[in-house]
Amino acid sequence: MTTARRPCIGVFDSGFGGLTVLKELVALAPDADYIYFGDTARLPYGSKSAETVARYAIGAAQYLEQHGAQMMVIACNTATALALDQITQASSVPVVGVIEPGAARAADATQTRRVVVIGTEATVSSHAYARALQERAIQATEQACPLFVPLVEEGWAEHPVAEQVARIYLDRAFAGDFQSADVLVLGCTHYPLLKPLLHRLVPGGVTIVDSADSTARVVSQLLRKGLPRRSSEDERRGTPRLKFFVTDSVEKFHRMGAHFLGSPIEDVQHVELRE
C-alpha cells in the first residue's frame, strides 16, 4: 500500500540569509521536505534593478518547481519587495513572501501603533513594509542598516563593532515620534543572527518581530490546511529532507551556510541558470 508523500517546499534567496527562514521552517513545519536555491553567484540583489531581480527570481522559482516544489517561499526581502507579484504570476504553485507575514505579526504585536523597520537599502527604498503596515493602520519608520549584512557574514554579530553600529542605527530609528514605537521588525533575513545583540539594545518594552519566524508560521498554517501530496513510502520519516542548489561555490556555501542554518549543510549542488 502506498502512503501520501511529504509535501516539498522550495525556498529561494539571493544567498545565505534565506537559510534563517529555512531554519524556522524546519522547526515549525517539520512534516515537509525542502529544496533551497541560493543565487550566490549574482548576489547582492539590493544593487540591481527591479526588472533584473524579477528575472533572476523567476528563473530560480521555475528551477525549484521543475525539481518538485509544491509551494514557493521567497526568503529574500529584496526579491519579495521588488518582484513578488511577478514571481507569483510566473509560478503555478502557491508563493509566500517574507514581508506580509512580518507586517501582520508586527501589527498584532504593537500597542502604540508605531513600528520601526530595519532592512537593507533596497528593501527600505521600496517602502514595502511601510505600505503593508499602513494598510493595517500602523505608522512605520524605516531605517536602512547597510553594515549589518557584512558584519553578519564576517561572523561579527556579537563583536563590539556590531554593537557600536547597531546603537547608531537604533538611535536614529527610535527618535522623534517613534520614541514610542514598541515593535522592531527585522526586515532582512540576515538579521536574526543579530537578535541577541538587538534584544540588549532596543528600548524597554520593544517586541522584536523576525520576518523569518513570521513567514515560517504562515507556511506551517498553510501546510495544516493541506498541500496536494503525491504517493510515496517515506511519510513516516521524522526529519525533513534538505537539498540545496547554489550558483557559486559549493564549498563556501557549506562553510557559511551552516552558520545561518545552525547545523551542518549536506547535499549541495552547483547549478548554472541560463539567462
Instruction: Give the pLDDT of residue 227.
Output: 62
- Are residues 137 and 76 part of one domain? no
Whether 188 is a known active-site residue: answer yes
**Residue-wise burial string across 5-44, b where 16 or more C-beta atoms lie within 10 A, e elsewhere:** bbbbbbbbbbbbbbbbbbbbbbebbeebbbbbbbbbebbe
Q: Does 275 map to a domain? A: no
**Shared-domain flag, residues 111 and 131:** yes
Are 5 and 232 in contact by the 8 Å Cβ rule? The answer is yes
Indicate whether 63 belongs to any domain.
Answer: yes
Give dist(CA 113, CA 95) in Å, integer: 28
| The pLDDT of residue 225 | 84
pTM of the predicted structure, to 2 decimals: 0.93
Check 76, 81, 115, 157 and give the catalytic one.
76
Answer yes or no: do 202 and 145 share one domain: yes
235 and 21 Cβ atoms separated by less than 8 Å: no
Inside any domain, residue 21: yes
Contact between 245 and 53 (Cβ < 8 Å): no
- Does any domain span residue 177? yes
Catalytic residue among 57, 69, 106, 188: 188
CATH number of the domain enclosing 24 = 3.40.50.1860
Q: Are residues 15 and 88 in the same domain?
A: yes
- Residues in the chain with pLDDT values less than 70: 1-4, 227-238, 275
d(CA 5, CA 26): 17
The boundaries of the domain holding residue 119 are 99-211
At 228 the pLDDT is 53
Q: Are residues 93 and 158 in the same domain?
A: no
Sheet holding 114-119, edge to edge: 139-144, 114-119, 183-187, 207-210
Tell me if residue 76 is catalytic: yes
How many separate domains does the chain show? 2
Extended strands (E) in 14-93: 33-38, 71-74
- Confidence at residue 3, expressed as pLDDT on a 0 to 100 scale: 43
Q: Is the peptide bond before 160 cis (omega within 30 degrees of 0)?
A: no
What's the N-to-C CA distance of the chain in angstroms?
Answer: 43
Predicted confidence at residue 151, as pLDDT, reads 96
